[in-house]
């Protein structure tokens, strides 16, 4: 069973109800953040809100801790990055992170329900700017990020 169960934790978040549509994953995706085929990863699931935001309600298990009881900063960065990436993916575009800036505002507790949200801010050609944030069950913002993503061109060398 997946240790991170977004569906089972949505009701624990004290946030307004909204209409969310599940985003599809590729069956063999091995991405550390969202890949269902990566047993060592976060295996995040994403939903899309009517306003275009991408949402992932999740509880991060203690195996991803830094200090006891708190999610490791690198995992927090991964949650924010993955959510921004999915906001670009919602356009039908595959892109990779070029730049990311993070503000760690409050500790993120492991084993507690959180909500990660991301949105696309703007696009210019192959460049896509996005932001994301992590909220606790009470709705307090724990961390934020903004990033630049570059669309991958298939069939081109490096």
Cα angle, residue 39 at apex, residues 11 and 30 outer, rounded to 5° = 100
157 within some domain: no
- Report pLDDT digits (tens) over 94-118: 999 999 999 999 999 999 999 999 9
38 within some domain: yes
Helix (H, G, I), strand (E, B) or coil at 65: strand
- Report pLDDT digits (tens) over 25-65: 655 676 766 767 767 767 788 899 988 899 999 999 999 99
130 within some domain: yes
Q: What share of the chain is helix, strand, coil (3-state, %, to 5)?
A: 15, 35, 45
Distance between CA 87 and CA 94 in Å, rounded?
A: 10
Number of structural domains (the chain) is 1
115 within some domain: yes
158 within some domain: no
Helix (H, G, I), strand (E, B) or coil at 49: strand
- Report pLDDT digits (tens) over 54-103: 999 999 999 999 999 999 999 999 999 999 999 999 998 999 999 999 99
81 is in which domain, residue-wise? 6-151
156 within some domain: no
Distance between CA 33 and CA 25 in Å, rounded?
A: 12
CATH of residue 26: 3.10.129.10
């Amino acid at each position: 069973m997946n240790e991170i169960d977004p569906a089972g934790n949505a009701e624990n978040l004290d946030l307004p109800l909204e209409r969310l549509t599940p985003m599809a994953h590729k069956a063999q995706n091995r991405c550390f953040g969202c890949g269902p085929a990566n047993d060592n990863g976060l295996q995040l699931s994403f939903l899309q809100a009517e306003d275009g935001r991408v949402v992932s309600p999740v509880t991060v298990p203690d195996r991803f801790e830094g200090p006891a009881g708190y999610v490791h900063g690198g995992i927090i960065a991964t949650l924010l990055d993955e959510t921004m990436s999915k906001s670009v993916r919602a356009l039908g575009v595959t892109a990779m992170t070029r730049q990311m800036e993070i503000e760690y505002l409050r500790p993120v507790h492991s084993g507690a329900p959180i909500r990660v949200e991301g949105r696309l801010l703007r696009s210019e050609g192959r460049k896509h700017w996005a932001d994301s944030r992590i909220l606790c069950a009470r709705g307090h913002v724990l961390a934020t990020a903004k990033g630049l993503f570059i669309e991958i061109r298939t069939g081109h060398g490096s």
